[in-house]
Amino acid sequence: MHHQPIRRALTLAPLALVLLVPPALARDSSALPPAVSNAMAQVSPQAIIEYRRRLQEYQEARAAFDAEAGAYWGAISEKRRTRNAKRRGGQQITLDDYVLEQPPLYTGPKRPVNPEPTEEPEPRPRKPIPVVADLLRAAQDLYQFTPQRPATEVEFKRAYARYSLAFGLTREQAVRVYSFETGGTGNHDVQAGIEHGGKRAISTAMGYNQLLTTNSVELLAEQGHELIRALSEKTAQSSGAARKTLEHKLAVLKKMVAQAKSVPDTWSEHEKIGDTAQGWAMHAMVLDIDVGPMLQTHKLLTSVLFARAKGYTRPLTAAELEMMNLTGDGTGLDMVTMPQAMRVQVPTSNFFQRSGYERNPVAIRHNTVAKLLAVTDARMDSNSNNAGAKELAGAF
């Protein structure tokens, strides 16, 4: 009989919880770690009231911002759909086809710190990011294959230079993109996060042009016929032990290409393979002295050919090629085909999803197409003076 009024009072007056904190703590303390229980007992009711007031202010400000930002990014998506439709119809793109205002920035209060200590939730396990040792193990386990590593780094650079030139990449494009992607110092097995003193891989991006596992799967699926042709020619011109090694490598490459082609030719399907040991084994080919330079070349060459197929015949500058390399061919071409007069006016936000933009400090700081291309060029200029970049330039 006495419990019903208490429940009604709690429903009608949430602040009454403050007055009931000590008894609740006394009853539940055995369920909490001693440090948390003791800290909660020391929190004053006034501190909790102030926290809740500030939390409400924050939530109201954040909700207002999210409504404004939602409308902005909705307009970005709508303009993108309009541009795509106009391109399909062969119509000219104008300034009116872009959002010309910069995205709203949140300037309201920060989320207040809860004075009531709580148990830390169990951290979510990190998705494993394979490193070179994992790739090599997968290739050996699944294909009984170990990539043939270069005797020296310059050997890999020379192979890359020969293949790049044969397929129409310029020295400027190859060297400057390498300089941007690796800082002008990266080896053929350099991995994002494990460079310049880094201790932990932050992605599977590897090599001169920082291919992801998904890139390797996709290139094997889409360019596999060319990779097989080139390696077959080299095999036919060899003899003895070198020929036996190449024959085994060619057999493995054919199996990998068949596996990559066994799923629909979409990024999402290739990404699924890239997240498995099968994808890791395919990614190991980036390290091989024969196949690796071809994969690195085709990573850039696909963008060049995409632009050409869309009617863009002017040679891409290295910075323009890097935009396509970073953002994807369709989005990158949107920037590349823009006249200079428009580049200085169009915000970079037009080429991002909201979540990607808000995590990209470079795009936020350099917030127009012209500024983003300029800072890319500046970084290429600086990094091209580093030893690795000079060595690669010499390989051409």
pLDDT, tens digit only, all 396 positions of the chain = 444 333 333 333 333 333 333 333 343 444 545 544 554 557 788 999 999 999 999 999 999 999 999 999 999 999 999 999 998 888 999 999 999 999 999 999 999 999 887 777 777 888 889 999 999 999 999 999 999 999 999 999 999 999 999 999 999 999 999 999 999 999 999 999 987 777 899 999 999 999 999 999 999 999 999 999 999 999 999 999 999 999 999 999 999 999 999 999 999 999 999 999 999 999 999 999 999 999 999 999 999 999 999 888 889 999 999 999 888 888 899 999 899 999 999 999 999 999 889 888 989 999 999 999 999 999 999 999 999 999 999 999
Distance from C-alpha of 129 to C-alpha of 361, rounded to nearest angstrom: 23
Q: Which two tokens stand for residue 131?
A: 């490193």
Angle value at C-alpha 271, between 267 and 272, nearest 5 degrees: 125
Distance from C-alpha of 162 to C-alpha of 289, rounded to nearest angstrom: 12
Alpha helices in the chain (DSSP H): 3-12, 16-28, 34-41, 45-88, 132-143, 153-166, 171-182, 213-236, 240-260, 267-274, 277-283, 291-309, 318-327, 329-336, 340-343, 354-358, 361-365, 369-383, 387-395
Distance from C-alpha of 20 to C-alpha of 388, rounded to nearest angstrom: 67
Give which of 230, 71, 203, 64 is closest to 126, Cα–Cα. Answer: 203
Give which of 114, 235, 171, 101 is closest to 179, Cα–Cα. Answer: 171
Distance from C-alpha of 156 to C-alpha of 81, rounded to nearest angstrom: 42
The SS3 of residue 242 is helix
Q: Which two tokens stand for residue 87?
A: 């391109």
